[in-house]
Amino acid sequence: MAEKNYNFDLIVSQFLNEGDKMVSVGPFGEGHINDTYAAVIENNGEKRRIIVQRINHSIFTEPAALMDNIYGVTTFLKKIIEANGGDVLRETLTVIPAKDGKLYFVDEGGNYWRSYIFIEGATTYQSIQTKEDFYNCGAAFGNFQRLLADYPADQLSESIPNFHNTEKRFEAFVEAVNKDICGRAKDVQAEIEFAMARKEAACEIVNMLKEGKIPLRVTHNDTKLNNIMIDDATGKAICIIDLDTIMPGAAAYDFGDSIRFGASTGAEDEVDLSKIEMSLELFEVFASGYLSVAKEFLTDEELYSLSIGAKIMTFECGIRFLTDYLSGDTYFKIHRPNHNLDRCRTQFKLVADMEKKMDQMHAIVNKYAK
Ligand code: ADP
Ligand code: GN1
Ligand code: MG
């Protein structure tokens, strides 16, 4: 992450208690959207860490409403965790309010900052470490959906309207191709053709929602592996983080995004495409974990939508990366030239693979849905 000249003494001090002193602060994690830092705080010889995050306010244009969403959902989850005898400080995020009581702090440059208690003794991974971990992630996301089923959706503001509306995502992609502001379209004709050929198929989940075949639920919408913390001691998926995009959506979005990222045999930005496929074995591991919980509440149509969702979420992510590449890399953080194009290519490779494996994917879901 490019180091920015933020006034961390001032920013971090907003989230400190009496007697706290900041010892150090540095970039943390591998998210594509916000700027995340970990600060070490000392008080009376004891050290602890906090997360301090600059909210990407060109993407999340209403940070105050966003923080109300997160506060509302985490407060709701804490009540359930407490009732179940769980650890309220480790099993969901804890927002640390700023000194003035607000859930964020705005610095002199107009940047919005928030802070969370650092969840110690747990790790977010960029790829699957053990199959058991991935099974546990599936169960955790299933449980997350189950718990949020009782959350009043009307209390959530849409942090990014039309986030998983693939019809609109497709329109934005076509517009980026037509505008071609960087003159890059000529170099990516194969990718553009791949996407153009899948316009109809891309809208299947959106259409199922429109036709009322599947219900709207409160969903996380960004369920990739590095948005879940795995306990170092037990291997259990203890905490789902990155709650920025909690909004009404389809169950298949969350199932699908986990598969997109976690069931791939390579990294999201792998340049050697021969390393990329959607592992049916990993698909089965995740699906069995997820369905061990979610089969209780999913309808038959939703069960059918899960594998389609995996393909569509992967396709959507691919066209989003390609759109960003064509538009000059303004949305996702990139760390090298062509980074978004490399990411797009892995996604399209996965889509092509899932198209071939779709019958087997449906069969696996059916096996664990009983
Ligand atoms: P982004 O929206 O940019 O993906 P995230 O909220 O996912 O930002 O945070 C980026 C990374 O920071 C996470 O993948 C995780 O590794 C780490 N992280 C975020 N919140 C916490 C927390 N409360 N405790 C420990 N690590 C965290
Ligand atoms: C972004 O914030 P992060 O890195 O967890 C993006 C997701 C994409 C993902 C691709 C708000 O997730 O939608 O699927 O990158 N988040 C947002 O890795 O756009
Ligand atoms: Mg994240």
Residue-wise pLDDT for 318-363, tens only, equals: 999 999 999 999 999 999 999 999 999 999 999 999 999 999 999 9
From 62, 169, 222, the mutation candidate for ligand 2 (largest count of ligand atoms within 8 A of CB) is 222
How many whole angstroms separate alpha carbon 253 and alpha carbon 296? 18
In the chain, which segments carry CATH 3.30.200?
2-119
Q: Measured in angstroms, how far is the CA atom of residue 32 from the centroid of ligand 2?
A: 6
Q: Is 307 in the pocket of ligand 1 (CB under 6 A)?
A: no
Q: Is 260 in the pocket of ligand 2 (CB under 6 A)?
A: no
Provide the CATH number for the domain formed by 2-119 in this structure.
3.30.200
In the chain, which segments carry CATH 3.90.1200.10?
131-369
Nearest protein Cα to ligand 1, atom 16: 29
Judged against a pLDDT cut of 60, whether residue 1 lies above it is answered with: no
Q: Model's pTM, two decimal places? A: 0.96
What sign results for the dihedral spanned by CA atoms 334, 336, 337, 339? negative
Give the pLDDT band (50/70/90) at residue 3: low
Percent of the chain whose pLDDT exceeds 70: 99
How many whole angstroms separate alpha carbon 80 and alpha carbon 192? 46
Q: Measured in angstroms, how far is the CA atom of residue 84 from the centroid of ligand 2?
A: 31
Judged against a pLDDT cut of 80, whether residue 4 lies above it is answered with: no
Q: Is 324 in the pocket of ligand 2 (CB under 6 A)?
A: no
Q: What fold does the segment set 131-369 form as a domain?
A: Aminoglycoside 3'-phosphotransferase; Chain: A, domain 2 (3.90.1200)
